[in-house]
Amino acid sequence: MTRDRQAKAGKKPVVEGMRDRRTLTDGARTVEIYYIAGSTHCDGLLMVYLPTERCLVEADVYTPGPLNTPAPTAVNPLTVNLAEDIDRLGLGVDQFLPLHGRIVPMAEMNKAIGRARASALTACAGYWYSSNSARVYTICLPAPSMSTRRSPCTA
């Protein structure tokens, strides 16, 4: 068997674990890794959040359908759980980068679970206010400038 670079280096690999959250940074870029709590798909499932880009990378809990197809008639409980985790963690997700499927905006995932979250944004004292009549919660974020409204994670 041919030895790979790791074996040739003669150094033992460093394996680092995590529980609920892990943040990696090189000083210029930050990557946040979160445990997806309550998932019935598998225990230990993780998602990766890119806060600067407001993008979420995940696998198996939300798989968008092909472009221009109607939302599924049955709501996937794994996707509902993901949405609840995003809310619980306060992640400002604009785009999903699923490992299975195409890049989609948060609004498409909300539509898939029958939620109209962030459907109407109105200014409130320098903040953007979003409420959902189907659920009782409110999100107030600093009002974005016109240059930050467009997500850099477009397909």
CB–CB of 118/130 below 8 Å? Answer: yes
CB–CB of 44/37 below 8 Å? Answer: no
Query: Do 109 and 125 belong to one domain?
Result: no
Question: Is 5 a domain residue?
Answer: no
Query: Do 108 and 48 belong to one domain?
Result: yes
- pTM given for the model: 0.67
Query: Do 40 and 86 belong to one domain?
Result: yes
Query: Do 111 and 124 belong to one domain?
Result: no
Query: Do 66 and 83 belong to one domain?
Result: yes
Query: Do 48 and 61 belong to one domain?
Result: yes
Lowest-confidence region among 35-39, 112-116, 144-148: 144-148
Query: Do 41 and 106 belong to one domain?
Result: yes
* 132 CA to centre of own chain: 19
- What are the residues whose beta carbons fall under 8 Å from the beta carbon of 83, sequence distance 6 or more? 109, 110, 113, 115, 117
Look at 88 and 67; give whichever has higher pLDDT: 88
Domain count, the chain: 2
CA atoms within 13 A on the CB side of 4: 2
Query: Do 101 and 139 belong to one domain?
Result: no
Task: State residue 148's pLDDT score.
Answer: 38
Task: State residue 116's pLDDT score.
Answer: 62
Dist CA 4 CA 135 (whole Å) = 52
Question: Is 76 a domain residue?
Answer: yes
Highest mean predicted confidence (pLDDT) among 8-12, 54-58, 143-147: 54-58
Task: State residue 141's pLDDT score.
Answer: 40
Instruction: Note the pLDDT tens digit of each residue in 79-138.
Output: 999 999 999 999 999 999 999 989 999 999 998 898 864 433 333 333 333 333 333 333
Query: Do 76 and 125 belong to one domain?
Result: no
Query: Do 84 and 70 belong to one domain?
Result: yes
- Residue 51 burial (C-beta neighbours within 10 Å; 0-12, 13-18, 19+): middle
Question: Is 66 a domain residue?
Answer: yes
Task: State residue 7's pLDDT score.
Answer: 86
> In sequence order, what DSSP letters do the residues of 11-56 get, joined into one string?
PPPP----SSEEEEE-SS-EEEEEE-TT-SS-TT-EEEEETTTTEE
User: What is the residue range of 140's domain?
Assistant: 117-149
Query: Do 121 and 108 belong to one domain?
Result: no
Task: State residue 133's pLDDT score.
Answer: 34
Task: State residue 6's pLDDT score.
Answer: 84
